[in-house]
Amino acid sequence: MSSEDLEKYEAEMELQLYREYRDVVGLFSYVVETERRFYLTNNVDLQPRSTENGEMYFEVVMEDAWVWDMYRPARFVRNVRVVTFKDVNVEEIQKSDLEMPPADGGRGGPELP
């Protein structure tokens, strides 16, 4: 397999992953981003912790999550536990952000051909 074939394969896989993300994002309430992965989930528990010597880390527990990872054969995961010393970003998905604007640009009139 040439490097060009590999790049084409990876581009196709990423496009398939994006399409899957677009199809499932409306099913979830939260986006969770760690240094290694991007998750969609409806249940997330983020707990700051500290080690015996005072270093801070985060424990993130998610249930029924979807993982952005093109190398995983199954992206739906029942339980996820992440422990990290890096930043964790948790955002609530606003359903209005997922809606497509009306075809008429919001003018309320009939759609033009």
The predicted structure's pLDDT at residue 95: 77
Instruction: Please state, rounded to an integer, the average pLDDT across all residues of the chain.
Output: 87
Global confidence as pTM: 0.76
The predicted structure's pLDDT at residue 85: 95
CA angle 20-92-42, nearest 5°?
Answer: 60
Per-residue tokens: 25: 């994002």
| Contact status, residue 58 vs residue 83, Cβ threshold 8 Å | yes
Q: The dihedral of CA 65, 33, 35, 89: what is its sign?
A: negative
pLDDT above 50: residue 69: yes
DSSP string of 25-60, one letter each residue: GGG-SEEEE-SS-EEEEEEEEEEEEE-TTS-EEEEE
pLDDT above 60: residue 56: yes
Which range of 10-14, 53-57, 97-101 scores highest in mean pLDDT? It is 53-57
The predicted structure's pLDDT at residue 1: 76
The predicted structure's pLDDT at residue 97: 60
The predicted structure's pLDDT at residue 73: 83
**Cβ neighbours for 54, distance < 8 A, ≥ 6 positions apart:** none
Model confidence band, residue 84 (pLDDT cutoffs 50, 70, 90): very high
pLDDT in tens, 42-51: 999 999 999 9
